[in-house]
Chains A and B, each alone.
Chain A
Amino acid sequence: MNLYHFASPSTFYHLAGKLIPWFAWGAGILTLWGLYIGFFQAPTDFQQSEAYRIIFIHVPAAWMSMFIYLVMAFWGAIGLAFNTRLSFMMARALAPTGAMFTFVALWTGAWWGKPMWGAWWVWDARLTSELILLFLYVGIIALWAAIDDIKRGDRAGSLLTLIGAINVPIIYFSVKWWNTLHQGASVSLTKAPSMAAIMLQGMLVMAFAAWFYTIAVALVRVRRIILERERHTDWAKAILAED
């Protein structure tokens, strides 16, 4: 099997169409499972009582906000380096969902901060850098929307994505580098997680749910972008003529 085969927009269009229902159903089932763990299996926290249950969306959303950005930067870099059409389309398809998760991370953070810190918002390094991430997403989407020429837009948007990628390690390490009100990482690759196993399990299931959701939504979007850009080709004409 040749991997380049799937890099052709027409093949990928059909492959994506087959994958979407699996990821959509997977996201739904994982969400129900994650919520069940989060609300009915995870115990009350001895310090934060029930308020900590916001963690089951806050942390997965924050992870996704950074990860989607890195994936966009990856596709942007591939597109700029090899001029592959599909990579730019993937970057464009991911951006709105990345922005949505960034907003959710900030929103749930505010509603967690209020009862725990006594403030909806503080200008601490973690919160500020995450807010900058939201501005980056919005800026990139606006840039794409503003440039009519597809190729120029692709390149400009990807360049901005790559420059902004410096912000992601800043978000991630902000709690180490600066003295922040935001707590440090509860889960890291280097040490054992500082939370109960069942809480961690709930968080991971919700993170997988967010992944499946993102893939499903991004595939729906990328199919439309493919169809739009390939509308002059015979296969796209055939699809558009179907209904």
Chain B
Amino acid sequence: MEWASWSDFWKMGGYGLYVWGSYGVTAACVLIEVILLRRSAGDTRRRLKRMQQWEEE
């Protein structure tokens, strides 16, 4: 184990801004992709159903 304490861990030897800036934005990118995908699940189905109805009329 490299860390004496949690504050030591967050400081990352003085590079905290860069390390957490990298990990934070990566986590945000992944989360945004997953949330967008989940949100659009219902939209896709509704849109396809509507398209089906139009095409059948």
Residues on A close to B: CB < 8 A?
A: 39-40, 43-44, 49-51, 53-54, 57-58, 61, 96-97, 100, 103-104, 107-108, 111-112, 114-115, 213, 217, 220-221, 224, 227-228, 231-232, 237, 240, 243
Query: Which residue of chain B has the shortest Cβ distance to A101 in the bound complex?
Result: B29
Interface string of B37-50 (1 = CB under 8 A from A): 10011001100110
B residues near A54, Cβ cutoff 8 Å: 18-19, 22-23
Query: Which residue of chain B has the shortest Cβ distance to A115 in the bound complex?
Result: B18
* A interface secondary structure, majority: helix
**Number of A-B pairs, beta carbon distance below 8 Å:** 81
Q: Are B45 and A243 in contact (CB under 8 A)?
A: yes
For chain B, the count of residues having a C-beta within 8 Å of the partner chain is 29
* B interface secondary structure, majority: helix
Q: Are A104 and B44 in contact (CB under 8 A)?
A: no
Measured between alpha carbons, how far is A97 from B37 in the docked complex, in Å?
11
Given contacts A50-B14, A104-B29, A111-B22, could you give 20 more A-B pairs where the C-beta distance is less than 8 Å? Answer: A43-B2, A49-B13, A49-B15, A50-B15, A50-B19, A51-B15, A51-B19, A54-B18, A57-B23, A107-B25, A108-B26, A112-B18, A112-B22, A213-B30, A217-B33, A217-B34, A224-B44, A228-B44, A240-B52, A243-B45
Known: A107-B26, A217-B37. Contact between A51 and B12, CB under 8 A?
yes
Most A-side CB within 10 Å, residue of B3, B22, B30, B51: B22
CB distance from A93 to the nearest CB of B (A): 11
Which of B25, B30, B37, B52 sits near A237, CB closer than 8 Å?
B52
CB distance from B12 to the nearest CB of A (A): 4
B residues near A51, Cβ cutoff 8 Å: 12-13, 15, 18-19
